[in-house]
Structure 1
Amino acid sequence: MSKTRRATHAGSWYTNDGRELSNQLEEWLSKATPSYSPARAIIAPHAGYYYCGACGGHAYGQIDPTNVKRVFVLGPSHHVRLSGCALTETSTYQTPLYDLIIDQKINEELNATNAFEKMKIGTDEDEHSIEMQLPYIAKVMERKRGQFTVVPVLVGSLSSDKEKLYGSIFSQYLADPTNLFVISSDFCHWGQRFRYTFYDKSCGEIWQSIEALDKMGMNAIEQMDPVKFSQYLKDYENTICGRYPIVVLLNAIDVLRRNGNGHRMSFKFTNYAQSSRCKKTSDSSVSYAAGALLMQ
């Protein structure tokens, strides 16, 4: 078993030159207004940085690393069928900036619930949804290098019962102010190549219809309502690839609200973008959104 997960998408999805990457991330972060800081959780996109790096900066710009000791990264499984969640078996994750240390203690705690599978190294290294968050995490946590750990979680296609189960498990960690949650998700994948061509002509052009559709879902997330978001997904079948990690977060928030633990919580999206503006049915695009959860 390999103890290190290689940065397999470096050099293709983003530059593998550490200095160039650091400068890129710094530039994107400098354009973000930290209006929702310090975030306890963020939603950030996971496409190639050429497409979504700028949008991601608006999510990561809400992070204050001062009190963060642990970063949970929940990403959807793109290549392997999973009905639950899976944890890494490695001890470090490589990035072109520096290696991130896996939190073995938390992995043991999660494994003890018997609710988690283990990722094979091939599955781990094939999956981009987690990897695309790692350089940004390394960058925003730079001054805490060696003083924080990461908990990567691969999230499968969950039943509503499992969405609630994982929400309940993660709620205790979300309540801890030394933990940060990164939820990895792109939004609408539109076009014939994605087999999704919903178009409400009353919105204007196709790209405007896509934006209106995405913002309906973003509104449900901002209301922190897992039932409303799940119903929206059923009604419109929007191709949000991180839908399950998002619903797990919403269920974790819901548990804390129901427990009446005194936290005041609010969620806000700070940026929205599309890879291109679709104007005809032969076009295609992927949408990206940056959002942050505040807990006081």
Structure 2
Amino acid sequence: MNAAFFQQSRPPAVAGMFYPDNAHELARWVERFVEEGRPGRASDPKAIIAPHAGYIYSGPVAGSAFRPWAGAGGRIERVVLIGPSHHVWFEGIALPQAGEFVTPLGRVPVDREAVERIVDLPQVRLFDAAHAAEHCLEVELPFLQVLLGRFAIVPLVVGEASDAQVAEVLDRLWGGPETRIVVSSDLSHYHPYELARRLDRATAGAIEAGRAEVLTPQHACGFRAIRGLLRTLGARELGVETVDLRNSGDTAGPRDRVVGYGAFQFAPRPPGTS
């Protein structure tokens, strides 16, 4: 790593657009989304999949995804944030040189020790351009800040990378109960409402069944990260639950061209259910 690594701050790119740029208002929005979120069976999931659109569209579903981590401050010390690149094409998985990410709610440090575990992997690269305008990780941070307080992140933007390459990174970062994983992804894009519902139900079924190979860009923009996460589950006794499945036509938009959102939680299976 060069001398500039960890010396910079990554400022918010979509504050005031995707979510409020006023700290008090932002916190109130997040609190409301979490309070109104749909409860799942898991009380403390190891990993979640959460959407990343503007909060008026996907915030209610994100609230369902993050809901079990309310009050987990102090127990969760590190969050691996991984999602797709929307603006820049590149090969591999990108780390920023920034030592912290900034939102209206404050600063979140990048976990140096965790980064050291993966920087030697050939698929991992330092590439600030992948992070500069990217919203998929940024919009998850206020939820974590409100729920956890103090924590560190490993921010990863996925370009052209295989399931195995993503899984290898996640395996190295897996850790224990102090470490959690957030995969940032929306589901289907710009279909009529009923078609989107059918497509997203099929995607949810594939995720619950662990059928990583069937997921494509048509199912989810973060399909590479989702496939990588599913690949890591083979030797781990984690079950998957679809907690919430809606689209922009349900929340704040018209129904002729909608974007799908899902909240998925990955948690240890109850005894006898394997």
Aligned-partner Cα distance in 2 for 1:273–1:68: 28
Aligned-partner Cα distance in 2 for 1:239–1:213: 7
- Partner of 1:94 in structure 2? 102
Identity of aligned residues (%): 27
Matched, 1:292 2:265: yes
1:28 to 29, 33, 38: 33
Aligned-partner Cα distance in 2 for 1:70–1:17: 25
Q: Name the structure with the higher strand share.
A: 2
- Partner of 1:189 in structure 2? 189
- Partner of 2:197 in structure 1? 211
- Partner of 1:44 in structure 2? 50
Name the SS of the counterpart of 1:123 in structure 2: helix
User: Which structure 2 segments of 5+ residues have no match?
Assistant: 270-274
How many equivalent residue pairs? Answer: 257
Aligned-partner Cα distance in 2 for 1:290–1:65: 21
Name the SS of the counterpart of 2:218 in structure 1: coil
- Partner of 2:23 in structure 1? 18
Question: Does the aligned pair in 2 maintain the 1:73–1:150 contact within 8 Å?
Answer: yes
Q: How does 1:130-279 map to 2 (within 5 A)?
A: 130-142=137-149, 145=150, 148-158=151-161, 162-174=162-174, 176-191=176-191, 206-226=192-212, 230-233=213-216, 238-254=218-234, 257=235, 263-276=236-249
| Cα shift at 1:66 | 4.5
Amino acid aligned to 1:12:
M
| Cα shift at 1:165 | 2.8
Aligned-partner Cα distance in 2 for 1:39–1:101: 22
Question: Does the aligned pair in 2 maintain the 1:174–1:252 contact within 8 Å?
Answer: no
Displaced runs of 4 or more, over 4 A: none
**Cα deviation code 1:2-58 (max 9, x no counterpart):** 610001210111101101111111111111225322010000000000111111000
RMSD between aligned alpha carbons? 1.9
- Structure 1 length as normaliser, TM-score? 0.81
Larger gyration radius, structure 1 or structure 2: 1
Q: 1:253 to 1:3 in 2, by over 3 A?
A: same
**Cα deviation code 1:197-222 (max 9, x no counterpart):** xxxxxxxxx42222111111111111
Aligned-partner Cα distance in 2 for 1:35–1:231: 26
| Cα shift at 1:271 | 0.6
User: Which structure 1 segments of 5+ residues have no match?
Assistant: 192-205, 258-262
Q: Name the structure with the higher helix share.
A: 1
